[in-house]
A and B are shown apart, each in its own frame.
Chain A
Amino acid sequence: MNWTANDLHIILVGTLCALACALPGTFLLLRRMSMMGDAISHAVLPGLAIAFLISGSRASWWMFFGAAIAGVLTALFTQWITRFGKVERGAAMGIVFTTLFAIGLILIKQSADHVDLDPACVLYGALEYTPLDLVTLFETAEHLIQVPRAALVIAATLLFNILIIALFFKEFTLASFDPSLAKTQGFRPMLMHYLLMTMVAVTTVASFEAVGSIIVIAMLIVPPATAFLLTRRLPILIATSLIVAVLSALLGHLSSQALPHLLGLPETTSSGMMATATGVLFLLAWVFGPEGLMRQNSGELKKPEHLIDLDEPKALEKH
């Protein structure tokens, strides 16, 4: 393969994106809201349409603004429907994103049919193209020190996520597992919930704009799910999830360049392969992990008592 600075940049942006998504993704998994990223990817459509109707422009800034508001609203509506409509969160997300997506389609049909407002064109970036938009951090007589603009955007999002989670770690943990206890202790679980949802909405929309949708949706869900097969202790869960995310980004780009050549095929997209790599790592964890197929078959598995029991809320679904 033909290794250039571009590979480094793609891996850098991919890794940052993987980290920025896997971090809030871990808490989404604990709240059974993993599909939030996918829901937001559809629900941004009315945001794009309204931003276009107000501004008359498809400029990135307007599109980003519209999408971000639609993303936060998705989270807000989902919570309201879960609470007041007494439906399960997955269904609530389904209600919200399909309705918002449909409203978006109708808005476009009614007022902007002549304009191409396809999110894939006006909002989603492409991971592979990020090295073409470089920002020079500083320069010496002979050298330019540059990073992709997307890396700065996602690094800022990542930093924001790290700060929020580091500041409210105790609150997030308790609110995720035992909202009523959190409430009695004065932790305001609802506030924590909205904070997390805002984090997810901002992270997904910023990442969509910088690198496209598939890698974002995959990184929100699969690394935390993989980590969940390996451990149930929250700090280790987060760490494992981040490691899986970084590995996926790295292996994904390398295999997108090297693997097809081995089979005599042309190279493939990096973002697609990064998302595929998360799936492969999940499969490995599932087969070889402590709760995996191999162990289960040999009958060795015994659930240690200190594990967080996430199966408890399932009782509700069985009815």
Chain B
Amino acid sequence: MKWLLTLLPAFFLSISCTKKKEAAATDGSIITTIGMIANVTREIAGEQQEVINLIGEGVDPHGHKPLKSEVDRIQKAGLVFYNGLMLEGKMGSILTSRKEKGKPIFAVAEGLEGVSLIGDPAHPDPHLWMDISIWAKVATAIESHLSQFDPSKKAHYAARLSAYQESLSELQSYALMAFGTIPVDQRILVTAHDAFSYLGKAYGIEVRGIQGISTESEAGNKDINDLVTYLVEKKIPAIFVESSVPKKSVQAVIEGAAQKGHQVKIGGTLFSDAMGPAGSYEGTYIGMMDHNITTITNALGGDVPPNGFQGKLRH
């Protein structure tokens, strides 16, 4: 069996040798992991700057399949923004280890001042974008990284940031106004998985998820039964499905409630881990949140125009 040992030299032959200069070279591109970060970065950087987003706008980050071209892009990137808090799974841990080696990589959801994270301190909920005021802080952080990345455009970034912050604060006032129209005892949001804790905390809505926090964990029977009892007791009119999570568990809840004589309807599809299709209004952060706010409000008995605060929503 000595011939097996001849395999080892084959391994050493294929070790790659890179020139130091090439290893450090970048093409000045900006890479983001998820749509919500890509959109904010584009708003601040402007159209001239190319921003490449790795996980497609309509894809749940948990279900993302890695590609070799992403590796090429991450290696050459001048600047990388990712969410952090383990949202991106394996890609996130790889980005973190590269960040620790001194590459220009930033976890935008980590280390924000004045933001208290929800959940177990060691494993907080990563869905920060559901609170517009937190995502506004993320926008500010992105701007300061961009200014360090390209100081010659500092004024340009600052101007674009303040314009964007203005739209975000309009969106924030709309959210507060809209959720305020929902009758107080109906401010209960039931969705397929726990992506809406920050939204609930920021806007005074109680949030109940059917699944645990991961999109993979299956809802137990008892969870579904407890939830059905709760829906019937509180007379909740609608529950919601999410664009990146299957409808199965939600259907089970609706059927369970119907058997107990309580009609629950599907209040609409919410954007949780993914935004709408690229190029559409719902494919922007503001559009996605406008859609969520408007859909939740109208389904739970509040009253806002169905086409949203800018009249741009299509249904």
Interface residues of B in 2-50 (CB under 8 A from A): 2-5, 7-8, 11, 14-21, 23
Interface residues of A in 140-193 (CB under 8 A from B): 142-147, 151, 155, 158-159, 162, 165-166, 169
**Pair A126/B123 contact, Cβ less than 8 Å:** no
Give chain A residues whose Cβ lies under 8 Å from the Cβ of B19: 142-144
**Which of the residues B21, B69, B98, B214 comes within 8 Å of A267, measured between beta carbons?**
B69
B150 within 8 A of A: no
B302 within 8 A of A: no
Given contacts A114-B212, A118-B216, A257-B68, contact A137 B15 (CB under 8 A): yes
**Pair B213/A114 contact, Cβ less than 8 Å:** yes
B130 within 8 A of A: no
Interface residues of A in 107-157 (CB under 8 A from B): 108-109, 113-118, 120-121, 124-129, 131-133, 137, 139, 142-147, 151, 155
**Pair B120/A121 contact, Cβ less than 8 Å:** no
Determine the distance from Cα of A142 to Cα of B18 in the docked complex, in whole angstroms.
9
**Count of chain A residues with Cβ under 8 Å from any Cβ of B?**
66
Determine the distance from Cα of A131 to Cα of B66 in the docked complex, in whole angstroms.
12
Which stretch of A34-42, A268-276, A293-301 is in the interface?
A: A268-276
* A-B contact sample (13 more), CB < 8 A, given A238-B4, A270-B68: A114-B120, A116-B86, A116-B216, A120-B89, A121-B86, A121-B214, A127-B66, A132-B74, A143-B18, A144-B19, A162-B8, A169-B1, A253-B68
Q: B92: nearest residue on chain A (CB-CB)?
A: A121
A-B contact pairs, 23 of them (CB 8 A): A19-B7, A57-B122, A108-B217, A113-B212, A113-B217, A114-B212, A114-B213, A115-B213, A116-B123, A116-B217, A118-B217, A126-B90, A127-B66, A128-B70, A128-B71, A131-B75, A133-B97, A144-B20, A146-B18, A162-B8, A166-B5, A257-B68, A267-B68
Given contacts A2-B69, A147-B15, contact A132 B75 (CB under 8 A): yes
Which stretch of A9-17, A67-75, A91-99 is in the interface?
A: A9-17
B72 within 8 A of A: yes
**Which of the residues A16, A118, A129, A270 comes within 8 Å of B214, measured between beta carbons?**
A118
List of 5 A-B pairs having minimum Cβ-Cβ separation, nearest first: A116-B214, A128-B66, A126-B66, A166-B1, A121-B89
Interface residues of A in 268-311 (CB under 8 A from B): 268-270, 272
B305 within 8 A of A: no
Interface residues of A (CB under 8 A from B): 2, 4-12, 15-16, 19, 23, 56-58, 60, 105, 108-109, 113-118, 120-121, 124-129, 131-133, 137, 139, 142-147, 151, 155, 158-159, 162, 165-166, 169, 235, 238-239, 242, 253, 256-257, 267-270, 272
Q: A117: nearest residue on chain B (CB-CB)?
A: B214
Give chain A residues whose Cβ lies under 8 Å from the Cβ of B18: 5, 143-144, 146
**Which of the residues B5, B14, B93, B218 comes within 8 Å of A8, measured between beta carbons?**
B14
**Pair A6/B90 contact, Cβ less than 8 Å:** no
**Pair A121/B7 contact, Cβ less than 8 Å:** no
Determine the distance from Cα of A239 to Cα of B15 in the docked complex, in whole angstroms.
23
**Which of the residues B7, B15, B120 comes within 8 Å of A115, measured between beta carbons?**
B120
Q: A60: nearest residue on chain B (CB-CB)?
A: B93
From residue B165, how far is it (CB to closest CB) to chain A in Å? 32
**Pair A56/B122 contact, Cβ less than 8 Å:** yes
Given contacts A118-B217, A121-B62, A121-B214, contact A146 B15 (CB under 8 A): yes
**Which of the residues A6, A15, A118, A256 comes within 8 Å of B72, measured between beta carbons?**
A6
B202 within 8 A of A: no
Give chain A residues whose Cβ lies under 8 Å from the Cβ of B119: 114
B204 within 8 A of A: no
From residue A209, how far is it (CB to closest CB) to chain B in Å? 10
From residue B37, how far is it (CB to closest CB) to chain A in Å? 19
**Which of the residues A16, A57, A165 comes within 8 Å of B1, measured between beta carbons?**
A165
Determine the distance from Cα of A147 to Cα of B72 in the docked complex, in whole angstroms.
16
**Which of the residues A132, A143, A235 comes within 8 Å of B20, measured between beta carbons?**
A143
Give chain A residues whose Cβ lies under 8 Å from the Cβ of B70: 128-129
B177 within 8 A of A: no
From residue A141, how far is it (CB to closest CB) to chain B in Å? 8
Given contacts A115-B120, A115-B123, A269-B67, contact A6 B75 (CB under 8 A): yes
**Pair B5/A5 contact, Cβ less than 8 Å:** no
Determine the distance from Cα of A294 to Cα of B37 in the docked complex, in whole angstroms.
56
**Pair A268/B71 contact, Cβ less than 8 Å:** no
